[in-house]
Structures are given as structure tokens and as C-alpha cells.
Structure 1
Amino acid sequence: MSSDLSEFQENKYRLPTNVKPSHYDLTFWTDLKSLEFGGLATIDLDILRETSAIVLNCADTLSVTEASIHCAALETNQVQAAQIVIQENLGRVTLNFLASLPAGSKAQLKLKYNAKLSGSMVGYYKSAWKNGDHTEYYAMTQFQPIDARAAFPCWDEPLLKATWSITMISRSETVNISNMAVESEALYNANSAVDATLTDLLSTLPKDAQWKTTKFQKSPPMSSYLVAFANGPLAYLEKSIVMPLSGRTVPLRVYGKSSWWGEFCLEVTAKVLPLYEQIFDIEYPLPKLDIMAAHDFDIGAMENWGLITGRTRVILLDPKKADIVSRKMVARIVSHEVAHMWFGNITTMEWWDYLYLNEGPFTRSLAWLDTHRLFPEWEVKSNFVNTHLYRALSVDAKRSSHPIEVECPDANFINQIFDGLSYSKAAAVLRMLSEYVGEEQFLKGVSVYLKNHLYGNSVTRDLWDGISAETGQDIPRLMNDWVSKIGFPLITVTETSNGIHVRQDRFLNDGTPETEENKTIWNVPLRILTVENDGQVLIDNKAILDGREKTLPIDTTKTFKLNAGTVGFYRVLYIPERLSKIATEAAKANSVFSLSDRIGLMYDVAALANAGLAKLSTLLTLTDIWRNEQNCKYHIFSSPFSVKIYPSCVDMVWSSVLTNMGIILSAFWEHPQIVDSLRAFISTLYAPLVARLGYEFPDGESVDIVLLRKAAVSGAALGRDESVARELRRRFADYLKTGNDAKIPSNLRLAIYTAAVRYGGREEFDALIKIIENPAKPASKSAAITAIGKLENLDLAEELFSYILNGARDQDVVGFCQGLAANALFFRRLAQFFKDNYDGFVKRFGTNSMLKYLVTSGLKIFSRQVHHLQGCLPQQFPLQDKDTSRYSMGLAQGLETIRSRIVYIERSSQDLSQWLTEWEQGSKL
């Protein structure tokens, strides 16, 4: 006889393996009046080793009132009641039995439980919305990574897949949804009930209400974190599609408090679901796919199988008036979550160490790929560089980074790896692999991987084996270091009489790595672009740097560039003369370099300047070169309708410039002369574009022009251009006067809100608060939250800090703080606010991910107070005596940012000041 407690003691972060669940039958009730729920979990078990104790997951918030087991293999063949031992703070419960369960037998475990519906945004929780003067609720789930245990007792580990049958009991006027399609639904009649479980559960519920039962079809095998259900006054939009492989008709629905603007979400889902079925050559296995928009949601969106959930902002929009950024975001996120129906849901990572197998390689990179197929005018591939690649390289350039594949021993660490490395770096390195082996071969290899692990679990080697089988290449040798090692290489290019010499060293954002930090030798696809005598462009896609350094025969008298298309996960350092030649070529109307090349070059130069490997003035010179070339292309056109946007002039280059200028401004905020001069420079970049393109967005305009105008206005506003600020304020004043937002184009909403609150007072502040609390559109609320942090009225700022504490929804607190974190007037005040309220935030966000993001926002504030830091964590930052286990990685990265920012400012201030002085003198000639 064995209780397996010794195994539990040895590995307290993983469940014992003496038993394995095969099927869950969940029957539970939800009462949105009392804000409570409860039910009965009946779990079929395989007894793998003889045991008299069963350990499973159960959150402290869940009260297990009864537990029993039946095992036919026992001679008594009787139901055994369990002794219930709660293991507080571990999310587990131990059930002890008098008689041991024999190895190889089967058993059925029953557990009765109940709990309150909290507002925690994890587990099974309540979400509130205003209906006139009163508040209404609906209840919904968010389980990833380890919160299914807060809704029912279970084996809450991804490897322990089982099938699921769910029955929901609710008030009759509400709607129930879950992963699977409804099998039956009926009003509960106590006189005709034959189900003893229902009778028992309903006996404790209010007798003055009409209850109903909704039974859902049995699911395929899936992990507990993918189980989902919701109950409440939900409305929906619906359409059906015919799937290409099976020929089945699959209904699609978008749920919310009303049928608010779900058309675009449905349109995207209807396109990508059959597209993925064709790409992966695997039928979508479920009978339907629902998407639910939530008012209170911890993260952006969640890929629950058959029931995707997410914030209203990422699901709903006005299809006729929505800004292009919102349309892109909804399309990208919906595509991402639909891709999860295969990656993560059919085939699931074995443990959270392999989270990137779900999040990065496919759901993130392929969502961008397929959004490009559906909306080619959006230049999605270049946008990938501007977002994911930039984000991942920025984080991975720190010593405090972590590998894509990282050991996750405990729950606190699991939540931390949902970051830019598991998502964006994973997507970027798999995109690099796809370009190297060829997209078609890559996707076929991915299909092999999925087919080999249908309804199962996987590890990294399984993916490499699938792609190797299809391509015939040694994928593990090529890719292992990219996912198992920290960091990425800097490729230094020097020129010789015979060609170029390339060398790789680890890139760090604060400069040259120490010897111990520079041991990894990556296999680097160099993607060398060259130009022949006849002007033909060639890309050597097979050139690999597989050692520390190598010499390559290239004619350096002609144009060349490494990392063509910016698809490689590395940075490149050229000699200054070559960089100047590349920049000049990139500025040409018919340049051999793509939009992605230009964006990547801009970010490389900025990162090299930050690391001290180039001057910061080089970035400004590059920007000035491209500005001058681009401006001369526009002046020959007379109206937005006739503007010709050359490939080198689309908005994403201007957006990358805007990002870099914003970073410099925030770093040098304590240098007023630099700030004033830099703003003047920024204004000269963007104000002429505004003068040419105006503020209106006529129907039928190209996406390029729409986004360029948006970037131009945002850039001119960042530069504090007076004429642009005046026009933006005028448009908001019209809204205040009329209540009509017709003069606030959706693409300029954030810029107009920001100008209104920055230059305005009480009336503008109150108007934004009203938008936040009762938005006409989800995007309006997000823009107002970001904009209101840019206010410059000290008294109103204090009101905002009070509102964050007492009026803001939990999901929005980080957004408010991030907005304030970009406002130099309140850097010190926000730091004090964070210190004063830290303990309250810990309690308020005790179970969700908000605390992690709040801490990193706070650290950004301190990273900007360099004159008060002296290279170390300030004493006023309230973490020295705190439990930082929930955000230790973000804390380490933030402190490293503080240290590197100090060196960056000290190293670059004189260079930057000198360049701006010379520019000002030149501009006056």
C-alpha cells in the first residue's frame, strides 16, 4: 500500500502520478443574484499505482464539502467517503481513503463544492456592466495557466488531458455557453425530474426563481485550462461556414452584453477558420466556434477550445467607422486565437516550459501571415518587424532575459513567462526558420508535427522532427540554441579586398558582453542581398554563419545588405561608410530595399546607439536623410486623393521614427534644452506631412494614406506643433459643445483626446472620465484611458490618482498608470503613488496578472529618474522587503533598464546636444 505522499513531498509543484483522470462530468449551478456557484464533479480515474491517497488541485477559494470514491475492483464494491485535507497556499487537496485502490483498476471520484463569484478575473468570476441605473452581471471563466482549480477540483496540468461533459444550471432568463454545442436545454421541473444530481443541487437554490438546465456535448480530450463556460444576459451575432475538408457546416457566434459590432470579428473568423483547416490538413474537430467579449478580463484574449474569450477592445468594433489600428488588432488577435484551435488545443505543450509551442511559432507568426493573406494592403509582414521583432529584441538584449524554453517549476513562475519572449521571440525565430527552409515546406512540416500528436502533448523535439521530416534538414542543429539559450547575436560586418568578414557576438543593450556571456555560437541565416551589374536583386537564402566568424566573397563596390527583409533574429553592425550607402539607397523611390529593410535598419541603429556601438546622432542623421528624400516626393501632388505613396514612404517607417523619438524624449526629460530642440526637430518631420495630408479621411482612401496621416498627426503632436495642437483641440471642443463626435475621426481619436486633456482643464477631464465609464465604442475607452494620463493640471492629476484607486476597473489600472508613465510631469508623483499603495495593489491583484504589469510600469518611472538613482534601486521603491516571486523576472529586467539608461544618457547627451545645435543652426540658413 502506498499513499504517494513521499512523491508529493519531493515535487510539491507537480501532482503525483498515481492516478490519471480520463473523463470529467461537471454539473454546476450559477446564481447571478447571490453571486455564488457550486456543483458536483464526477471524475473517472485510471489507478496507475496502488494508493490510498489522491492529491488534486483545488483553490483556497473553493469549498469542497463532500468527497467519495467508488472502485469496482474492491471486494466491498462500496462507495468510500474521503478524509479531506486542504493544503493551503498550494492549490491542492488531499483525499485519504481507508481502503487502497488497486493498480490497474478504474474508479469514479465525486466531489461537491461551492464558492463565491469574485471579481478577480480568474477562475469562474463575475463581470459587471451598467444597464441604465442598475448593475447587471454575467459570469465567465479564465483558467490559463492554473485557475481551473478555482472553478472545480481537477488535475490542473496540461499533460493530464481528459474528455469533458458539462451541465449548467442557471436562472431561466440567462444564457449558458461552453466549449461544446448544446445537446439539450430545458426548464427544471421538480415534479418530473429523474436526475438525482440535479434534484440535490437545486434543492438549495431559491424556490421563487425558474431554473433551467443546459447540457453540452461531450468534448474531445483537452487540458483543464482550456475548459470554458459563461452564464448571463448574453446576446449574439451568428453566421455559418462550410469547412473545406469535412464539408461540415460550422456555426460561428460572437457573444456580448448586446450584439455590439461583432460583424468584423465574425468576418475574420469565417475566413481564417477554414484557411487553417486547409493549411494544417487537419479537420476542425468541434461542432461550433463562439467568441465572447468581456467587460472585465485579465489578459487580452484566451483560446478556450470552441469558446474564445477576450476584452471588448480586441473583439468588437464599428465595422464602418473603426480606425485602421483597431481593425488590424481585432483581425490579428482573432486570427491568433483561432490558430490556437490547432496549436495548443489539439496538440498541447507537455508542461509550461514549452509554452512557446502554443504561443509563438504558429498562433502568433501564422496569425500575421494569414492576416497578410486576407488583408494584403495592411503590409502585415512589415508590421511584424515594427511590433513583435522590435519587442522581442528589446527584451532579449538584457542580461536578465530568459530563453524561449525556460524551466517553470512553480505557479508564480508560470505566470511570468507569458511575455515578449514566449510570444514574440518564439514567433520571430520560427519566422526566420520558415524563410530559411521555405514557407511551403515549413507549413507541411508543421502539419506533420500536429498529425503525429493529435489530441496529445508535445515538446520541442517533436516540432523539430516534424519539420525535419518534411525538409530533409537537420532542424535541431539549426534551431536548438535559438530556443534553449538566452540572447541573440550581433553580426559585425567589416569589408576586405576579397569581400566581407562577418563575426557574431552576443548583443547586449549596455554594450560588449563579458567572456562568460559570449559563449553561444548560433547558426545564423545571413540572407545576403546583392545587386548584379544589370540591376537584378539576388538574395542568398542559404548562407549560414555557423561559427564565430567567416569571410564571404562579395563585391563590395556594389550594393549589399545582410538580413534582407529583416527576417533574422539578430542585429547587424556595418562600418559607417556602408551604413551611409545603405541609408541613401533605402531613401530612393525604387530602392532595392524593402519596407521591412528600412524599419529594421532604423531599429538596429537605435539599439546600437543605446549599446554604445554607434552614436545616437547617427539615428537622427538617418532620420533626416530619409525625411528630406521623402518630402521631395510629396510636394508634386495636390490632394490626398492623388498622393502616390512609394514603397519607401509608407507609414511604418514614420511609425518607427515616432517610436524612437519618443524613447529619446523620455530618456532625456531632465534635459530641457534637449527636449525643446528635439521636439522642434520632430515637428519639422511631421508637420509638413499634416499640411499636405490634412485631417480628413475620405472614403476609398488607401490604407497607406490613412496610416501615414495618422502617424503624421501623432508625430506633430509629439513635437508640440502649435497649429496641429490647435486643430485637435478645436475638434474636441466641437464634441463638448454638440455631444457629436463627427469631427473626431477614429484614426485620430487618441491624438485628439490627448491634446484636449493636455491643454484643457476640468471640462475636458470630466468628458474623458465619462467616455471611460460609458464608452460609445470600446476603442474610445482605450484611447481615453491612455490620453488622460497626459494631462498637465496638477489638481486634476490628484483626482486621477484617486480615481485609479477607487473608480477604475481592475483591468484598466495598468492602462492608466502606463499613460501617466509617459508624462514627465508626474514621474515622481507616480512613483510615490506606487509606493504608497503597493500593499493595496498586491491585495487587489492577488490572483491575476495585473500586479506584474503594474510593477514593470513603476520601474519604468524609476528608470527615468536617473539623476536620483546612482545606478541602483532607489530606497523609496517599496520592494526590498516584499515577496517578489510573482514578478521577479520583470523586476530584474526593470532594474537592468535603470542601470543601462544611466549609462546611455551619460554617454549620449553631449553627442545628442551637439547634433541638435548643428541642426538648428543649419535649419536657420
Structure 2
Amino acid sequence: MAGGPTETTKPAEEYRLPTGVKAKHYDLTIRTDLEKLRFDGYVVAHLDVLEETSKIVFNSSKLTLGRARLSSAALKEEVTVDATSFEIDGASERVTIQLPGALSAGTQLALKVDFEGELTGSMLGYYRCSWEDEGKTKHYALTQFEPTSARAAFPCWDEPLLKATIALTMVSRADTVNLSNMPAISEEVYAPSYKDSTDAISWLSSKFSELTTGEGEKWKVTKFQTTPPMSTYIVAFANGPFVYLEDSYTSPLSKFALDVKKKVLPLYEQVFDIEYPLPKLDTLVATDFDAAAMENWGLITGATSAYLVEPDSLDLGAKKRIAVTQSHECAHMWFGNITTMEWWDNLYLNEGFASLPTTDFFSRVFPEWKVHSAFISEMLNRALSLDAKLSSHPIEVECPDAATINQIFDSLSYAKAASVLRMLSNFIGEEKFLKGVSIYLKKHLFANSVTKDLWEGIQEASGVDVPKVMDNWVKKMGFPVITVTETKDGITVRQDRFLETGPAPPEENETLWSVPLSLLTTDENGKAKIDRSLLLDQREITIALDTSKPFKLNAGTTGVYRVLYTAERLIAIAKEAAKENSIFSLEDRIGLVYDALALARAGYLDVSAVLSLYDVFRNEKEHLVWDSVAESFGVFGSTWYEHPQIVEKLNTFRRELFVPIVARLGYDYTAGESVDVHELRTTAIVQSAHGGDEGVIEELRTRFKKAIETGEDAHIPPDLLGATYVTSVKHGGKMEYDQVKAILAKPKTPTVELAAIAALCATQNDELAEETWKYLMSKSRDQDIPVFFRNFFQNHKKRHFLVDKFREDYDQLYQRLEGNFSLQYLVNYSHAGLCSDKDWKETKAFFEGKDVSKYKLALQQSLDGIHTRSEWIKRSTSDLQKWLENRK
């Protein structure tokens, strides 16, 4: 499936609304009944007729529509259209209303529609969340509209390009709280005498005609300020018994997220020279949420794990997760909300940019986190791993339907987009890059944009022909491997498309990228110098160079490509990089580790060279290098897990590298220690436990036992919570399993909940694995199902168990999750870890005849992954075994 979702091109009129009529403003009234778990509403869409038309077409999904009324000066009288006369296309989620006659361009029209819907637990549209309070299940409701679910909450023109202002009125029971994008301007208890200047007054009266207004049935009406022009997917509202906390007091659990927001918002305003335009920016934390978080303008929403951490906690992992999420969503206030992509094919203009400032600005807010260096593992390597598949897709990708749109919220739209933008910034200089971005935003304030708009802004600031440099990076899938061949006078560098399966065949090797080479060499004093002007925009070039001195391409690992040296040169660069005060940076060392592993997986490099590289870095002090080595061990173990003798020898090598670090750093964390020491300790302990070190395993099990016996959390450092729970269940029995299961029933924090889920999936016992699966199917929240799957995937001995259970319960899982993002993750986690030709054939056969449209891309990527692992095992097992047996 080379080309992924772009393999079939559809004309835009098949999946885009007609352009002849546009909504410019909505008067929207929503009434929420949390007792009946239903909502209803009344919308007045104020329309501009741009082209002569005799019909109105808008989006609606899963709503029961009432009559429509049309009023305009061009119509002699208000026209009423009964819902039975609507032309409803369920597949495209569109409703067509035929007009009694043609309306000419320039006509202004009001469309009034009442509607109702159910508050389901789908985590899309306007949906319900639940929690237990003194044995009773209670509910609240909130929205998740991205990408195409605003239409499931009210009839609208649900496309990013079709921006409109919105004046929202919410009607709810008087003892609840209403929230929306804008601040409330009035709130009063509803009574039959209630007066309202909008057209919703008669609708309200009819809805309440049979209800009492006694003490137990009091309702209230909350009116909100009108929004700026905005796309429907960032409209947000919520209703429930919320505890809302403002300046005078903040929830201890949410204080860190609030502090991050307060720090990053002024930075965004300063750098882009554009003020945040709304009067408030709330964050609503939800117990049931499909995505990690959502950038609704003025009302960010997200899962508990994305925002909550104990006050004064030393849980650095949780703090990083929260800070990244909060700053990402805040960046969207500019990239996505103020300036919005015209269509979902340019999603990266939202997500890539929201991911990139997260890195740039974190270096100012949290310099100790070394976020520029961490970008390589958290963004760049993740992007390259996915983009190395034949089933990849371009950053800018055709999106002809909702199923495709949902599937491109992936590492290419986020991480690869951020990586190519980072590469451009490094090539032209950060100051010019940010100036160009500011120009781009200012030219499209409260409007929409496409790729060329961004290039024009950056070109204006830099003078560089940006489209020439960048177009293939966003319009073509894949990236190059740069092969370095040494000659007597220098080096020849050649670009070819990199595929994880090996050298690309001619039909897949047609793209030539403009590759910033960033060549690092030394001057006459032995000091590093970097030539950032070199641009490889043809198949190969020759560069004059003294190869007897240290050199390296892709200095700082800022380029979106892999670099292939001979094994001898790779080790020579690594040895130079491992020296004190080396000319090669931390980012260079991280890049060497990731490149070597990817190149070995694709057959360009022997596995023995990769393991020798790890040996060279044996005395490394920086956590981020060790983290890349740890991730590489995970890849080896995840590939050869059905070869126990190899796994044991790999684990012996893993223990040799990581256990001495545990001995040096110990198990106790202190508030004053460096972030690098803090994280290195965590990585070393986790890797030593994974590697089977008896001392580390016993220490973690002892701490778990003490915590259970005393009820004191202090026995387990927060960053070791997951490793402690997992190790205790993995190497324990029914007692430890039941103890963790009891913790999961009432977790104190989101971190505890995630750790408990991971532990239940780590059991090696078949009966306990069955018990975990039953819990997953019967008691877990929908949002947690992918978490269970991910952790079963990480339990190598239960991978085939996961596949079997997924296939047994496929119909139930599909029905439960088909409406949201999760289904594709289940397909990937359950199958991507398989590694034989037999697995590939069985997987292919299982999905034959099924409707795979909602997860087509994930399925093909999983199949590609199985094939890649299978071929790697065939190709490299002998070399791997030989190196492990012969090392001293």
C-alpha cells in the first residue's frame, strides 16, 4: 500500500461541503439533562449566499432533527421545512434542504433548526463522563469535536475553512456549572417569565412547558460572550457539578499544569508578536477522554493523566508529560485556533507547529530538561521509524473522509512535521525562522492557511527559496539515507530513500530531497566548525575534506535523515564522541545510536557494529544517550523474543551496562539533584530489572511489600512506581497480582492508575492474564483499553495471548470503540509485535473481508512491521549470536 491514504484521489466535491452558502454566525442554545443523559438544542445559523443556489447543505450526525425554518428578506415569508423532507446522507453526514426557489448571490439567510441527541460514552461529540460518589454513579458532559464531531452536537458547517462566530446559551439544572470557550456574561434561574432577546425563547418555553420549577427541578440559563471567528472543531462546552477554582485558590493536583500555562503563554505572545485574543483560558480535566488533550479555544480539555500530579511530587515523568501537553495545547491557541489549516490535509500546520514550540520554549522554561536534545528521541526518531515504512504517508496528505482524517493524527503529522520545521529553522537560522512564522500568522489572523502561506512568510523573512528546499519534505513520503563514501580527497555523499526493509527499489526511489548536510569538521586549532550552507539537492555530490581528521554529517542531529558510514568510521566517530570535551555534541551521540540501530534493522549495517557502538559508550554520563541505548535494547528484545538463548545473552550485556549505574546512583531521589541524575537512575533501574538482575528485582519487590504492609507510598519513589509494580507482579504470584488489582480499584493519582494497569498486564501466569483480560472487557473505561493493549504488547510472553484475545473479542471491541481514535491503536498494539512469516499470513487472513476503513493505515503498518522483523531475524541472527558469544 505504498502511499497509504493517498492511493485513491477523490474530487473535492465528494467530501467537501458546497461553497455557495457559508455560515457567518451561530446563535446556539444547548440544554443538558444529566439525569436523562440527553441533550437538545436550537440553532440559528446566519448564512451568506455566495453563489446562486436552490439548496442548503450542512453537516449533522447522530442527531434527531426537528423542523427547519428559513427566513430572509429575499423570501416573501418564513419557510418551514418538516424534518421528513430533509435529504439525509448518513455516509457523508450531510443534510440537504431544498429551497422553494433560487436565492441569488449576496442574499443573507437565517436557518433555524431544533435538534436532540443522546449523551453517550463515546468520547466524541457531546458525551457523558461518569464517576462513583458514595456508591452512586454520577455524570457530567463535555465535548470532543476534533476532527469531525461538532456535527454530532449541533447542525453546522463542520469544516476548518468555514469559520464563524458563535453566541452560546447553555440551559442546565441549577446545581451544575456550565463552561464554554468564552466567559459567561449572564446566568439566571429559568422561570416561565424568563425573557430573552433571541429567537430561542419560544423553543425554551416549549421545552419547559411540562416541567415544574420547584426546588428540585430548578433550571438555569447561562449566556456566553460571542467568540471570534473560529472553526467548529475547537468549539467546546461542558456541564456538570464541577469544582472550579480560580485565582484565589488552585487545586493542588492541577497547580503544576496551571504554572506551566502561566509561563508559556507570555513566551508565545512575545515570540510571535501576537497577543492571546480571548479573555480567559481554562483547562478542564476529564475522567473519560479519548485523546490526551484538546486545544479548544479558551477551554482546553484533557485526560487526568495529562494534567494531574501530586503537589511537590518528585515524579519527573508525570511533570514532563503534563508540561509537554499543556504547552502543546497552549501553542495551538496560535497554531490552529487563530490561524487554522484550510482542510485536514494540512493538519501539520496545526500539529507540527504545536509540537515544535514545545521544544523551543521549554529550553527557556525548563532548561534543565535539555529538551533540544530530547527532541531526537521524543520526536525525530519516532517520526523516522514510522516514515521508513512503505505504508507511510506524506505530511501533507489527502483526506477524503472522516475515517482517513482520524488516522493521520500520527507521528508524521506531529513528529515528522515538527522535525522538518526544526531542520528548516536550523538551516536558515532560528531568528529568521521565527520572524517568518510571525509574518505568516499575522497575515492569516482569524483566517485559514495552506502550506504556501507558511513558505511565503518564512521566505520573506529569510530570502531563501523555501518551497524549493521544503516542498518534497511535506508533499512526498519518506526521507533519505545519506551514504558516505570516503575517497583520497574527501567524501562522496549520495541520497536514496530509506526503507526499513532495505534499499529502495527504483520505483520507490524517485524523490530527491533538498538535504541540509550540516557538516562538522575541525579548524586548524582542533575546534569544531559546522558548515550549514551545504545542500544536497541532487543524487550525489563530492565534498573536499581531510578524512584523517574527525568529521560528521548532520551535526547536532537536526536533519530528517539517516547517515550511513562504514562500520569502521562509525566506531571511530563514536570513540571520538565518547571523549571528554569532544567536538561532537550530546545530540551527535544520541543520533549515532538511533541511526546505527535503524541502519542495522534495514540491512545496511551489521548488528555487531551496533552492539560494539554501545560498548564504546560504556562510560557515558548523559542520561539521554543511555536512554537511546535502552530503547535500542528494547527493540532487540522485541524482535528476538522468541529466541530465549539470544534474549538471555542480550540481557547479560544489558546488565553489564546498566547495573553499575544503579550501584553508583542508588535508589533514592533527592529534591536537589540534577534532572540528568534523576532520569539516569530511573532508566538504569528499569533496564536492570528488565535485564533480570536479581539484586534490583529483589530491591523493587521489597519496596513493594513494605508499601503494601505499611500503606506508606514513600517506600516507592514516584518515578519507580511503574517498574516496582510491574516487577512485583511479573516475578510474584496471585498475592501481588491481587494487591495491585485492589490499588487499581481506587488509585490515588493518574500515575498510580497507569502503573497498576501496566502491572496487571505484566503477569507471566496464563490464568492471571485471563483475569486481566476479563477486567479489560468488563470494567475498564474505554479510554484505558489502549493502555492495557500497550502493556500487553510490552509483555513479550503474552503477545500471542493478546492477539488471540483481540481476535476472539474483535466484534465487541469494534462496536465499543469504532467511533473514536482508539481502534487503530488496538490493531497496532496487538499485531505490530509479531515477527514471523506465519504471523504475517495469519494476520492478513484474519482481516480479510472485514471493514478496515477506520484502521487501514495502522493495519498496513503492522503488516509491514511483521515483515521487517521477520526479515531482520533471518538476516542478522547469526551475526548477533556470534557477537554475543565471542565478546569478552
Same fold (TM over 0.5): yes
Mapping of 1:589-668 within 5 angstroms? 589-627=580-618, 629-630=619-620, 649-668=621-640
Q: 1:444 to 1:399 in 2, by over 3 A?
A: same
Which of residues 229, 235, 257 in structure 2 aligns to 1:221?
229
Which one-letter code corresponds to 2:356 in the other structure?
S
Mapping of 1:299-318 within 5 angstroms? 299-318=291-310
Which of residues 429, 444, 453 in structure 2 aligns to 1:438?
429
Which one-letter code corresponds to 1:202 in the other structure?
F
Match of 1:682 in 2: 654
Q: Secondary structure at the match of 1:236?
A: coil
Match of 1:530 in 2: 521
- Once residues 487 and 434 of structure 1 are traced to their aligned partners in structure 2, the CA distance between those partners, rounded to angstroms, is 20
Q: 1:428 to 1:349 in 2, by over 3 A?
A: same
Q: Indicate whether 1:909 and 2:877 are aligned.
A: yes
Q: Indicate whether 1:144 and 2:150 are aligned.
A: no
Mapping of 1:165-244 within 5 angstroms? 165-194=167-196, 195-203=201-209, 207=213, 208-239=216-247
Q: 1:42 to 1:318 in 2, by over 3 A?
A: same
The alpha-carbon deviation at position 239 of structure 1 amounts to 3.5
Q: Secondary structure at the match of 1:750?
A: helix
Contact 1:587 1:625 in 2 (8 A): yes
Which of residues 416, 437, 442 in structure 2 aligns to 1:425?
416
Which one-letter code corresponds to 2:786 in the other structure?
V
Q: Secondary structure at the match of 1:238?
A: coil
Which of residues 866, 874, 880 in structure 1 aligns to 2:848?
880
Instruction: Give CA deviations for 1:841-876 in whole Å, capped at 9, x if unaligned.
Output: 111012101111111112224x23x1633xx43168
Match of 2:571 in 1: 580
Higher relative contact order structure (alpha carbons within 8 Å, sequence separation ≥ 6) = 2
Matched-pair identity in %:
50
Q: 1:589 to 1:485 in 2, by over 3 A?
A: same
Contact 1:182 1:216 in 2 (8 A): yes
Match of 1:4 in 2: none
Say which is worse superposed, 278-287 or 259-268, in terms of deviation.
259-268
- Once residues 677 and 492 of structure 2 are traced to their aligned partners in structure 1, the CA distance between those partners, rounded to angstroms, is 41
Match of 1:19 in 2: 21
Mapping of 1:320-719 within 5 angstroms? 320-360=312-352, 362-627=353-618, 629-630=619-620, 649-719=621-691
TM-score, normalising length from structure 1? 0.92
- Once residues 459 and 451 of structure 2 are traced to their aligned partners in structure 1, the CA distance between those partners, rounded to angstroms, is 12
- Once residues 15 and 413 of structure 2 are traced to their aligned partners in structure 1, the CA distance between those partners, rounded to angstroms, is 21
Q: Secondary structure at the match of 2:680?
A: helix
Instruction: Give CA deviations for 1:686-739 in whole Å, capped at 9, x if unaligned.
Output: 111111111100221111110010011011011010000000000111121122
The alpha-carbon deviation at position 329 of structure 1 amounts to 1.3
Contact 2:69 2:79 in 1 (8 A): no
The alpha-carbon deviation at position 78 of structure 1 amounts to 5.8
Match of 1:868 in 2: 838
- Once residues 81 and 113 of structure 1 are traced to their aligned partners in structure 2, the CA distance between those partners, rounded to angstroms, is 12
Which one-letter code corresponds to 2:76 in the other structure?
E
Which of residues 715, 722, 730 in structure 1 aligns to 2:694?
722
Q: Secondary structure at the match of 1:261?
A: helix
- Once residues 666 and 641 of structure 2 are traced to their aligned partners in structure 1, the CA distance between those partners, rounded to angstroms, is 30
- Once residues 567 and 73 of structure 1 are traced to their aligned partners in structure 2, the CA distance between those partners, rounded to angstroms, is 59
Contact 2:843 2:863 in 1 (8 A): no
Q: 1:458 to 1:587 in 2, by over 3 A?
A: same
Which one-letter code corresponds to 2:179 in the other structure?
I
Mapping of 1:730-745 within 5 angstroms? 730-745=702-717
The alpha-carbon deviation at position 160 of structure 1 amounts to 0.6
- Once residues 82 and 11 of structure 2 are traced to their aligned partners in structure 1, the CA distance between those partners, rounded to angstroms, is 24
- Once residues 367 and 531 of structure 2 are traced to their aligned partners in structure 1, the CA distance between those partners, rounded to angstroms, is 25
Contact 1:530 1:559 in 2 (8 A): yes
Which one-letter code corresponds to 1:811 in the other structure?
Q
Q: Secondary structure at the match of 1:237?
A: coil
Match of 2:7 in 1: none
- Once residues 454 and 12 of structure 1 are traced to their aligned partners in structure 2, the CA distance between those partners, rounded to angstroms, is 29
Contact 2:293 2:329 in 1 (8 A): yes
- Once residues 606 and 206 of structure 1 are traced to their aligned partners in structure 2, the CA distance between those partners, rounded to angstroms, is 69
Q: Secondary structure at the match of 1:26?
A: strand
Instruction: Give CA deviations for 1:369-401 in whole Å, capped at 9, x if unaligned.
Output: 111210000011111101110110001111111
Say which is worse superposed, 782-791 or 444-453, in terms of deviation.
782-791
- Once residues 78 and 916 of structure 1 are traced to their aligned partners in structure 2, the CA distance between those partners, rounded to angstroms, is 81
Q: Secondary structure at the match of 1:364?
A: helix
Which one-letter code corresponds to 2:123 in the other structure?
M
Contact 2:71 2:77 in 1 (8 A): no
- Once residues 105 and 484 of structure 2 are traced to their aligned partners in structure 1, the CA distance between those partners, rounded to angstroms, is 64
- Once residues 744 and 58 of structure 2 are traced to their aligned partners in structure 1, the CA distance between those partners, rounded to angstroms, is 42
- Once residues 271 and 341 of structure 1 are traced to their aligned partners in structure 2, the CA distance between those partners, rounded to angstroms, is 15
Say which is worse superposed, 769-778 or 591-600, in terms of deviation.
769-778
The alpha-carbon deviation at position 576 of structure 1 amounts to 2.3
The alpha-carbon deviation at position 903 of structure 1 amounts to 0.7
Which one-letter code corresponds to 2:133 in the other structure?
N
Q: 1:78 to 1:688 in 2, by over 3 A?
A: closer
The alpha-carbon deviation at position 97 of structure 1 amounts to 3.2
Q: 1:582 to 1:74 in 2, by over 3 A?
A: same
Instruction: Give CA deviations for 1:238-283 in whole Å, capped at 9, x if unaligned.
Output: 349xxxxxxxxxxxx98xxxx3511111111001111101111111
Which of residues 268, 272, 284 in structure 2 aligns to 1:280?
272
Q: 1:77 to 1:42 in 2, by over 3 A?
A: closer
The alpha-carbon deviation at position 204 of structure 1 amounts to 5.3
Say which is worse superposed, 877-886 or 611-620, in terms of deviation.
877-886
Match of 2:4 in 1: none
Match of 1:62 in 2: 63
Which one-letter code corresponds to 2:345 in the other structure?
D
Instruction: Give CA deviations for 1:386-443 in whole Å, capped at 9, x if unaligned.
Output: 1110110001111111110011111111111111101100000000000111111100
Instruction: Give CA deviations for 1:147-179 in whole Å, capped at 9, x if unaligned.
Output: 001100111011110000001011111111100
The alpha-carbon deviation at position 133 of structure 1 amounts to 1.5
TM-score, normalising length from structure 2? 0.96
Q: Secondary structure at the match of 2:217?
A: coil
- Once residues 445 and 495 of structure 1 are traced to their aligned partners in structure 2, the CA distance between those partners, rounded to angstroms, is 38
Q: Secondary structure at the match of 2:842?
A: coil
Which one-letter code corresponds to 2:46 in the other structure?
D
Task: Give ranges in structure 1 of 5+ residues lacking alignment.
Answer: 1-7, 241-252, 631-648
The alpha-carbon deviation at position 594 of structure 1 amounts to 1.3
Contact 1:69 1:81 in 2 (8 A): no
Contact 1:239 1:266 in 2 (8 A): no
RMSD: 1.7
- Once residues 525 and 363 of structure 2 are traced to their aligned partners in structure 1, the CA distance between those partners, rounded to angstroms, is 31
Instruction: Give CA deviations for 1:523-556 in whole Å, capped at 9, x if unaligned.
Output: 1001111112312211111111111111111221
Q: Indicate whether 1:807 and 2:779 are aligned.
A: yes
Say which is worse superposed, 596-605 or 325-334, in terms of deviation.
325-334
Q: Secondary structure at the match of 2:113?
A: strand
The alpha-carbon deviation at position 197 of structure 1 amounts to 3.8
Contact 1:772 1:785 in 2 (8 A): yes
Contact 1:70 1:80 in 2 (8 A): no
Q: 1:905 to 1:206 in 2, by over 3 A?
A: farther
Contact 1:67 1:84 in 2 (8 A): no
Contact 2:314 2:671 in 1 (8 A): no
The alpha-carbon deviation at position 778 of structure 1 amounts to 1.1
Mapping of 1:4-83 within 5 angstroms? 11-59=13-61, 61-76=62-77, 83=85
